[in-house]
Chains A and B, each alone.
Chain A
Amino acid sequence: MTVPAETKTVEVPWQVLPGYQCFGCSPSNEQGLRLTFTRNGAGIETRLLLGRAFESYPGVVHGGIATTVCDEIMGNLLVLRVGATVFTTTLRTRYLAPLKIGVEYRCVATTDAGPDTPAPLRARAEILGPDGSQHVTAVADYQPATEEQARRRMAISDSDAALVQQAITAHRIEN
């Protein structure tokens, strides 16, 4: 049976590293967001349902967390689209309406960037409420890194870096 693109789980490349601790997407970081991603057209989406550990004002999700979710999903989309590790250089968030604790939201990321797009690579994200209304929008620019640059900026062995690069290539998302 063919699985519709919208329901396909997106494999983030870092999961090939045992015990990776990404605050955004590692399933083993108990303090993290533990986001998972699925395809959404040419982009990807994640669902978030946050508890009080991520609170700002009572009952309201912390704005920094909302921005982190947007950065996480845009970064992962670009990595899988361009086939290289990317680093955030600028990110602007527009907060339109508060996110509430205990309510499920969707965050959708899109980009026009591809493997041949010159840097900086731009992506956009929006967090949508249960009725589809926009609560947060974000736009960010990212700088792609070569394998060597990525290795120098991370605490990662050569063999693990090679594993990640293989996974990035294997899970590429085409336009």
Chain B
Amino acid sequence: MSNALNDVTVDDVIATVTKLVAAEFGLPEDQIGADVDLSSLEGSDSVKVLRTVAKLERAYDIELEDDQVFGLKTVRDAAQLVVAVLEEQR
């Protein structure tokens, strides 16, 4: 993987996750705060969250475990998990 991914910060990933959530949920990005509970978003369901996770895995070339994925509540949770997994891979 490129060195660029080794330097990814939580804020970087928050921006990416926000874009992915906005696209998947069909909502404007400014309605998706980093600490908003994803299950409270309009039209939220588990499939949309899983699709977002699948795109996140692809974007960062990582694999997340189900127990990690199903514990995610917010955009920040997802971003922190991605950064933690990337750090483990270094």
The answer to whether A96 has its CB under 8 Å from any CB of chain B is yes
Check A97 against B63 for contact (C-beta < 8 Å). no
> Number of A residues contacting the other chain (C-beta, 8 Å)?
11
B47 and A137 contact, CB distance less than 8 A = no
Main secondary structure of the interface of A (DSSP, over half): strand
Q: Are B51's CB and A96's CB within 8 A?
A: yes
With A97-B47, A134-B51 already in contact, the answer to whether A92 and B63 are too (CB < 8 A) is yes
Contact residues in A for B50 (Cβ distance below 8 Å)? 94, 96
Give the docked Cα–Cα distance between A133 and B47 (Å). Answer: 11
Flag if B63 contacts A137 (CB, 8 Å).
Answer: no
Please report the C-alpha to C-alpha distance between residue A94 and residue B52 in the assembled complex, in whole angstroms.
Answer: 12
Contact count band on B: 10 to 19
CB pair B51–A133 under 8 Å, yes or no, is yes
B90 sits at the interface (CB 8 A): no
Give A9 to B57 CA distance when docked, in angstroms.
29
On whether the beta carbons of A134 and B63 are closer than 8 Å, the reply is no
User: What are 20 residue pairs bridging A and B, where the CB atoms are less than 8 Å apart in the complex?
Assistant: A92-B63, A94-B50, A94-B53, A94-B54, A94-B57, A96-B47, A96-B50, A96-B51, A96-B54, A97-B47, A122-B61, A124-B58, A126-B54, A133-B51, A134-B51, A134-B54, A137-B54, A137-B57, A137-B58, A139-B63
